[in-house]
Amino acid sequence: MPLAIFDLDDTLIDGDSSSLFLRYQVEHQLAGADMLAREAAMMADYRAGRLAMDDYMAFTLQPLGQCTTEQVAHWADDYLRTWILPRVFPQAHAALARYRAEGWRIVVVSATGEHLVRPIAAALGVDDVLAIQLETHAGRYTGRTTGTLTYQHGKVLRLQAWLSSQHETLDGSHGYSDSINDVPLLEAVSQAHVINPDALLLAVADERRWQTLAWRH
């Protein structure tokens, strides 16, 4: 069964789900508004391909420290319905439907926490998810991550481990992303597609002759 591998943020949805969730938390008084400026600066580093993801996750997970998994799941469900589903690109819906109809196995691989990626992917009809794993203790989030972060080359490492466990390969696979951080992932698939690339990724895509797509609402 061939694989169709999708990044999430700014690929399937118009926006970054982690940044948007922090804004949601601030709006609902679950996080301090003073977090927004530092997070925005970190996201500028992300877009330049130089973000230290460990630092970003430690910072943005602070509001979840000691929250129960049930509490966070409740917030994530409301966030999904009110903030994320309206941002899904119509072209993303169409691409997922096409791959599903043709019998492909769809995988979402994201550098966002699994507490957000899993419910978003499920709402899009995708069961297979690789995302940043959050540490829990006694049913509560600790505010820390665990395992290899699905970021930059870490996406490939996690994907390789998943492929082995699922007895799958990347032969004939398609990959989709918007980010310069996902060049290692796009190099690993058989056919790469870049979605709304910035200048950094567009230069790489032109050099590698990857297909460039413009997805809009």
* Residues noted as catalytic: 7, 9
Residues near 54 by beta carbon (within 8 Å), at least 6 away in sequence: 145, 149
What's the number of CA atoms in the CB half-sphere (13 Å) around residue 186? Answer: 23
Residue 24 CA to residue 21 CA, distance in Å, equals: 5
The helix/strand/coil state of 16 is: coil
The enclosing H or E element of 105 equals strand 105-113
Residue 173 CA to residue 101 CA, distance in Å, equals: 16
Residue 149 CA to residue 57 CA, distance in Å, equals: 10
Q: For residue 206, which amino acid is it? A: D
